[in-house]
Amino acid sequence: MANRENPYLPYPAVIQRVKEETSDIKTFSLAFKDKARQTTFYYRPGQFVQVSILGLGEAPISLSSAPCCNGSFELSVKRSGRLTERLHQLKPGDEIGIRGPYGNGFPYEEIKGKNIVFVGGGIGLAPLRSLINSIIANRDDFGSLQILYGARTPADLVFKDELNCWSETDGVEVLVTVDIGDERWTGNVGVVTTLFAKTRISADNTAAFICGPPVMIPFVIRDLLEIGLPEEWIICTLERHMKCGIGKCGHCNIGSKYVCLDGPVFNYRELKQLLESF
Amino acid sequence: MTVRLLKKARCIDLVDALSDDYEIVAPVRKKDDTLFEPLSGGAEMDLDYLNSPVAPREFLLPQDETVFEYSDPENGTTLQPKIKDRCRIILGIRSCDLNGILLLDSVFSKDIPDLYYLNRREKTVFIAMACNQPGNSCFCSSLKTGPSASEGYDLLLTDLGDEYLVEVGSSRGEEIVKIGRGLFGEAGEPEIKRKADLLAIALESFVLRVDFQRVTELMKGLFADGMWEDIAERCLRCGGCSFVCPTCHCFNLFDRQLSETSGKRTRGWDSCLFSGFTRMAGGINPRGSKVERIRQRFFCKLVYYVEKYGAYGCVGCGRCTDTCPGYIDIAQVVTSVSLRSKGYEVDVGAKPER
């Protein structure tokens, strides 16, 4: 018993930096207080952690940084509940609890040599960013990269500097849209799927990664299937209410799958076999 | 198989002999109910009970338990994990409930082990009790989870009249017999034969027989069927079925602030019938309707449990049926699934006749 780790204990992590992405989204750069834990904190793009604020509880949050730099890790968090409200009030030097990483994460080795399409909506770009930056750091291992991103308004766009950076990288195309523009917005207006008409996506040797609000996902899948992408290369990451993160508490199941354990990343072939809708 | 005899009158002496080393939990009569409770003296026991209204899973997965306590002394927060390590005997547990615990073992040991459950489990000894007379809502024989246990027990008692036949099922069972030496008598073929005869009578006397054959496969074809709406109409969303169930394992984790600088993280039973069970921050709820939630309960028990752990998440104890204020009856649901899949109209909106 003694050498089994207690999976429910959070470990203290210190906020290093806070970046305000939008009026309700912040990116927190964190490092475990225990240096040994930080240097051995391995995770894959697409995995998540349980963020703990004592007195308020926990919330599952995707890692938004690429795993390659292990001095710290990042979480990009939208203010949407009690815990995230409190998290948004915290400053560098403040401590929170972290346990994890959890979940399967995105395929990585398997997509080497492929063309990659990312389709993100709102804060859904956060988990994708972890994979995008991993791919860009190893650019030669992959084919072309297309990033399609939609937000509600220009003020809701996250990672603005990086969107520019990515678009200036060789072989990377970035397309951005907003649901509602403003007087200074000269870009595309419309839901994220309207971007499919603005570019050419090849179905040949391509993998697509989707993350966004539940209402977005089926439409993106429909369009990617129409383009001819195979079901197993349409890859989604899902969000559910979670408590334990380790497949015990029963909150995050979709059919016989646990999103925390079997997911949060599923390909469409897996998703369409589930009895419950995703 | 080692067998012994234990005179009913010596049960109290056995409890006394074991009390030094173990906390003993046994059925205790409380007005109209018999509940599993820690014994303060052997005399309180009621081993002639049918079953308790709540499954004794609470001694492995408590309704409410502290995961850790936290306090914030001058320099940084400290966490105090709360893992208890008291050895406990559950005396008189029925075969259905023992099978329920074997299912919980799968849930809590698979993939990432849950220390809180497993620590208790390792320190729990089961002295199970075969049923000679099943109740009106019982259908364990349809699931082969009773009326007598075939695995999972340390000792198994069968009521032979003035005495119990004691079957030893594990080395920990042997240990109990050793502690209580002098109290046990010899048993042999005649007593084993008497048990077999009693078991045959018990099997004959089930009022309820449910055909579970192919139910998993059939349910998958009925996911969108209207029968779930009929059932949902009778659900009051009380979650009682989940709380009495021997195989429900869902729980919530939440913090209780006890002072400005201290508090505890707690886990407590939860139910998939509650609308907040799947609701996310921001308000999106993937299982927002009662129909989806009641369907989830039956699919969890009869489909998902099978796919994940290789057995039905139902042991036929009948508690959910007895508890449900809307008379939702899992046996009726299983029968209705079979009829619906053959194209018959079923009236799952009606109170079952029992």
Residue A156: give its domain's CATH number: 3.40.50.80
Searching chain A, which residue's CA lies closest to the CA of residue B71? A54
Does the residue A245 lie in any domain? no
Residue with tokens 């964190």: A30
CB contact under 8 A, A55 and B257: yes
Mean pLDDT of A232-245: 97
**CB burial of residue B207 (10 Å; 0-12, 13-18, 19+):** exposed
- The most confident of A66-70, B42-46, B65-69, by mean pLDDT: B65-69
Same domain, A152 and A54: no
B56 vs chain A: nearest CA distance in angstroms? 19
Same domain, A42 and A134: no
Residue B17 · residue B175 · CB < 8 Å: no
Cα-based distances in Å from B170 to A173, B2, B155, B253? 66, 10, 7, 35
Does the residue B225 lie in any domain? yes
Residue A272 above 70 pLDDT?
A: yes
Same domain, B191 and B227: no
pLDDT in tens, B283-326: 999 999 999 999 999 999 999 999 999 999 999 999 999 999 99
Does the residue B209 lie in any domain? no
**Distance in angstroms (rounded) separating the CA atoms of residues B51 and B62:** 19
pTM: 0.94
Same domain, A87 and A138: no
Does the residue B315 lie in any domain? yes
Closest C-alpha to B127, from B83, B82, B188, B183: B183
Searching chain B, which residue's CA lies closest to the CA of residue A102? B112
Closest C-alpha to B296, from B317, B275, B318, B327: B275
CB contact under 8 A, A54 and B83: no
Same domain, A54 and A70: yes
E strand spans, A21-166: 25-32, 48-53, 57-62, 73-78, 95-102, 115-121, 145-151
Does the residue B354 lie in any domain? no
Same domain, A59 and A117: no
Give the pLDDT of residue A11.
Answer: 95
Closest C-alpha to B173, from B187, B148, B153, B191: B153
Same domain, B227 and B290: yes
Q: How many CB atoms lie within 10 A of CB B30?
A: 12
- Return the bridge partners of A81, or none: none
Angle between the N-to-C axes of helices B95-109 and B115-122, in degrees from 0 to 180, rounded to the nearest 10 = 140
Same domain, B187 and B336: no
Point out the domain boundary residue: B147, B182, B204: B204
Q: Sign of the C-alpha dihedral, residues B238, B241, B246, B250?
A: negative
Does the residue B351 lie in any domain? no
Cα-based distances in Å from B158 to A153, B8, B93, B187? 71, 11, 12, 12
Give the pLDDT of residue A216.
Answer: 96
**CB burial of residue B238 (10 Å; 0-12, 13-18, 19+):** middle
Cα-based distances in Å from A213 to A217, A236, A240, B295? 7, 11, 11, 24
Q: Residues 58 to 117 of A: which have CB under 8 A from any B CB?
A: 58-59, 78, 80-84, 95
Does the residue A276 lie in any domain? no
Closest C-alpha to B88, from B39, B30, B35: B39
Residue B77 · residue A95 · CB < 8 Å: yes
Residue B334 · residue B302 · CB < 8 Å: yes
Same domain, B183 and B85: yes
Same domain, A93 and A115: no
Range of the domain at A155: 109-237
Same domain, A233 and A125: yes
CB contact under 8 A, B270 and A214: no
The size of chain B, in residues, is 354
Range of the domain at B296: 215-341
Q: Which member of A240, A249, A261 has the closest CB to residue B250? A: A249
pLDDT in tens, B59-102: 999 999 999 999 976 556 677 877 776 799 999 999 999 999 99
Same domain, A198 and A143: yes
Same domain, B41 and B172: yes
**Distance in angstroms (rounded) separating the CA atoms of residues B338 and B142:** 15
Residue with tokens 């006749």: B353
Give the pLDDT of residue A1.
Answer: 39
Residue B39 above 60 pLDDT?
A: yes
Residue A255 · residue A261 · CB < 8 Å: no
Same domain, B172 and B246: no
For the beta sheet containing B23-30, the strands, ordered from the edge strand earlier in sequence to the opposite edge, are B33-38, B23-30, B88-94, B124-129, B155-159, B163-168, B2-7, B184-186
Q: Residues 248 to 267 of A: which have CB under 8 A from any B CB?
A: 248-251, 253-256, 261
Cα-based distances in Å from A53 to A56, B63, B92, B265? 6, 23, 42, 11
The mean pLDDT of chain A is: 95
CATH number of the domain within which A67 lies: 2.40.30.10
**Distance in angstroms (rounded) separating the CA atoms of residues B303 and B330:** 13
**Is the bond leading into A60 cis (omega within 30 degrees of zero)?**
no
Does the residue A41 lie in any domain? yes
Please give the helix or strand (H or E) that residue A189 lies within, else none. strand A188-189
B345 close to A (CB below 8 A):
no
The two tokens of residue B349 are 């909106």
pLDDT in tens, A22-32: 999 999 999 99
Same domain, B19 and B49: yes
Does the residue B346 lie in any domain? no
> Which of A25, A246, A253 should we substitute to test contact with B (largest number of B Cβ atoms within 10 Å)?
A253
The mean pLDDT of chain B is: 93
Point out the domain boundary residue: A102, A133, A153: A102
Same domain, B259 and B336: yes
Residue A185 · residue A158 · CB < 8 Å: no
Same domain, B285 and B199: no
Total number of domains in chain A: 2
Same domain, B188 and B290: no
Give the pLDDT of residue B353.
Answer: 62
Same domain, A115 and A188: yes
Point out the domain boundary residue: A68, A102, A136: A102
**CB burial of residue B205 (10 Å; 0-12, 13-18, 19+):** middle
Does the residue B220 lie in any domain? yes
Q: What is the ipTM of this complex?
A: 0.93
Q: Which member of A54, A248, A256 has the closest CB to residue B108? A: A248
Same domain, A116 and A227: yes
Does the residue B210 lie in any domain? no
Give the pLDDT of residue B218.
Answer: 96
pLDDT in tens, B155-193: 999 999 999 999 999 999 999 999 999 999 999 999 999
Point out the domain boundary residue: B150, B177, B204: B204
Give the pLDDT of residue B41.
Answer: 59
CB contact under 8 A, A8 and B265: yes
- Please list, in sequence order, all residues whose beta carbon lies within 8 angstroms of the beta carbon of residue A97, skipping any fewer than 6 positions away: A10, A11, A12, A13, A51, A52, A53, A54, A58
Total number of domains in chain B: 2
Same domain, B184 and B272: no
Same domain, A115 and A85: no
Q: Which member of B113, B251, B284 has the closest CB to residue A249? A: B251
**CB burial of residue B352 (10 Å; 0-12, 13-18, 19+):** middle
Point out the domain boundary residue: B204, B238, B269: B204
The two tokens of residue B88 are 């406990």
Same domain, B131 and B63: yes
Same domain, A151 and A223: yes
**Distance in angstroms (rounded) separating the CA atoms of residues B285 and B292:** 11
